[in-house]
A and B are shown apart, each in its own frame.
Chain A
Amino acid sequence: MWKEGWRQAERPDASEIPEPYALWPGGTDRLVVVYFVAVILVSYLGLRFLGTRSVLVGGLPVLMLVTMIISLLFVVGLWLLAYRSRGGGQPRP
Chain B
Amino acid sequence: MSSLFILQIIPPGLAEDASSHLSQTLTVLAAYLVVLGVISYLARSRYTGEFSDYVTASRSLGWVVTTLTILATIWSGVALAGFPGSVYALGAPFMTSVILGLCTSAPLIWFFGRRIWILGQEHDFITPGDLLGGYYQSDTVRVYTVIASLVFNLAYTVAQLLAGGILLNVLSAGAISFDGGMVIIAVVVLVHVTTTGIRGIAWLDTFNGTLILVILAVFSVYIIRSAGGMIHVFTGLGRLQTLHTSLPGTSGIFTPLQTLVFGAVFVSGTAVVSPAVWVRMYAIRKKEELFRVSVAFLVLMTLIHVFGTYFIGTYARVVFPDIENPDFVSSLLAFDLMPFGVAALFLVAVLAAIISTTDSYLHVLAVTVVRDLVRAVFMPEMKKARELNLNYLVITLAAGLSVVLALLYPGFITPLAVVAGGLTIQLFPLLFGAVVWPRASTEAAIIAPLGGVFTLVGVRLNLFSDPFSSPMLPGIVASLCVNFFLFVLISYFTRPQPLERIEAFHGVIRKNL
* Segment touching A, from B226-234, B384-392, B454-462: B226-234
Contact of A2 among B93, B110, B139, B310 (CB under 8 A): B139
Residue A54 CB within 8 A of the other chain: yes
Within 8 A of B (CB), among A65-83: 66-68, 70-71, 74-75, 77-79, 81-82
CA distance A55 to B420 in the complex (A): 38
Q: How large is the interface on A (under 10, 10 to 19, 20 to 34, 35 or more residues)?
A: 35 or more
> How far is it, in angstroms, between the C-alpha of A44 and the C-alpha of B103 when the chains are bound?
13
A 41-57 to B, binary, CB cutoff 8 A, 1 in contact else 0: 00110011001111010
Q: Are A67 and B438 in contact (CB under 8 A)?
A: no
Q: Which of B235-265 contact A (CB under 8 A)?
A: 235, 241-243, 245-248, 256-257, 259-260
Spot the interface stretch: B320-328, B354-362, B493-501: B493-501
Q: Is B218 an interface residue (CB 8 A)?
A: no
Q: Nearest Cβ distance between residue B356 and chain A, in whole angstroms?
A: 23
> Do A74 and B497 contact each other (CB < 8 Å), given the known contacts A21-B510, A47-B256, A52-B246?
no
Q: Shortest beta-carbon distance, B267 to chain A, in Å? A: 13
Please indicate the chain B residues that have their CB under 8 angstroms from the CB of A48 in the complex. 256
A38 proximity list for chain B (CB < 8 A): none
A88 shortest CB reach to chain B, Å: 12
Is the Cβ of A6 less than 8 Å from the Cβ of B442? yes
Which of A21, A40, A52, A67 touches B507 (beta carbons < 8 Å)? A21
**Interchain CB contact under 8 A, A17 and B502:** yes
- Chain A residues in 8 Å Cβ range of B41: none
Which of B192-200, B293-301, B479-487 lines the interface with chain A? Answer: B293-301
Contact partner of B306 (CB less than 8 A), chosen from A11, A14, A64, A78, is A64
Interface residue from B107, B235, B291 paired with A74 (Cβ < 8 Å): B107
Instruction: For A49, give the chain B residue with the smallest CB separation.
Output: B256
Q: How far is the CB of B53 from chain A (nearest CB, A)?
A: 28
Contact with B245, one of A6, A10, A23, A63 (Cβ below 8 angstroms): A63
Do B497 and A6 have beta carbons less than 8 Å apart? yes
Question: In the complex, what residues of B have CB within 8 A of residue A18's CB?
Answer: 499, 502, 507
**Min distance, Cβ A31 to any Cβ of chain B, angstroms:** 14
- Report which residue of B107, B111, B234, B299 has the largest number of chain A beta carbons within 10 angstroms of its beta carbon: B107
A9 x B498 contact (CB < 8 A): yes
Known: A47-B247, A53-B246. A17 touches B139 (CB 8 A): no
Q: Is the CB of A14 within 8 A of B291?
A: no
Shortest A67–chain B CB gap in Å is 5
Minimum CB–CB distance from B229 to chain A (whole Å) comes to 7
Contacts of B499 in A (CB 8 A): 12, 16-18
Contact status of A59 and B106, CB under 8 A, knowing A6-B442, A51-B96: no
| Residues from chain A with Cβ under 8 Å of B242 in the complex | 54
Residues from chain A with a CB closer than 8 A to the CB of B210 are none
* Interfacial chain B residues near A64, Cβ < 8 Å: 92, 95-96, 245, 306, 310
* One of B107, B260, B439 near A47 (C-beta < 8 A): B260
Q: Flag if A60 contacts B230 (CB, 8 Å).
A: yes
Cα distance, A93 to B257, chains bound together (Å): 38
B60 part of interface (Cβ distance < 8 Å): no
Contacts of B93 in A (CB 8 A): 51, 63
- Tell me whether B1 is interfacial, beta carbon within 8 Å: no
B106 lies within 8 A of A74 (CB): yes
Q: Mark B83-107, 1 if CB is under 8 A from A, else 0.
A: 0000000001101100110111011
Take A47-B247, A70-B100, A75-B299 as given contacts and tell me if A85 and B306 are in contact as well, using a CB distance cutoff of 8 Å: no
Taking the complex as formed, is B437 at the interface, i.e. its CB lies under 8 A from any CB of chain A? yes
Q: Does B140 belong to the interface (CB within 8 Å)? A: yes
Bound Cα distance from A47 to B103, whole angstroms: 15
Cα A14 to Cα B246 with chains together (Å): 49
User: Could you give, for residues 6-33 of chain A, a 1 whenever the CB lies within 8 Å of some chain B CB and a 0 otherwise?
Assistant: 1001111110111011010000000000
A-contact bits for B269-294, CB 8 A (1 contact / 0 none): 00000000000000000001001001
Taking each of B245, B259, B436, B442, which has the highest tally of chain A beta carbons within 10 Å of its own beta carbon?
B245
How many angstroms between the C-alpha atoms of A43 and B97 in the bound complex?
11
Chain A min CB distance to B7 (Å):
28
Complex CA distance for A83 and B75, rounded to whole angstroms: 30
CB of B304 to closest CB in A, whole Å: 12
**Chain B contacts for A56, CB-based, 8 A:** 231, 234-235, 245
Q: Is the CB of B260 within 8 A of A43?
A: yes
A51→B247 contact, CB < 8 A: yes
A51 CA to B254 CA, complexed, in Å:
11
Q: Would you call A21 and B246 a contact (CB within 8 A)? A: no
- Taking the complex as formed, is B380 at the interface, i.e. its CB lies under 8 A from any CB of chain A? yes
Report whether A75 and B246 are in contact in the complex, using a CB–CB cutoff of 8 Å.
Answer: no
Please give me the residue from chain B that is nearest to A85 by CB atom. B513
For B58, what are the chain A residues with a Cβ–Cβ distance below 8 Å?
Answer: none
Shortest distance between the CB of B289 and any CB in chain A (Å):
11
Q: List 8 A-B contacts (CB under 8 A).
A: A3-B138, A4-B137, A4-B140, A5-B138, A9-B501, A17-B499, A23-B436, A51-B259
Q: Which residues of B contact A (CB under 8 A)?
A: 92-93, 95-96, 99-100, 102-104, 106-107, 110-111, 114, 136-140, 229-231, 234-235, 241-243, 245-248, 256-257, 259-260, 288, 291, 294-295, 298-299, 302, 306, 310, 376-378, 380, 436-439, 441-442, 492, 495-499, 501-502, 506-507, 510, 513
A-B contact sample (9 more), CB < 8 A, given A11-B495, A36-B107: A3-B377, A6-B136, A9-B497, A9-B498, A18-B499, A51-B246, A52-B246, A75-B295, A79-B295
- Counting from the closest, the 8 A-B pairs by CB-CB distance are A5-B137, A61-B245, A59-B230, A47-B256, A11-B495, A54-B242, A59-B231, A6-B442
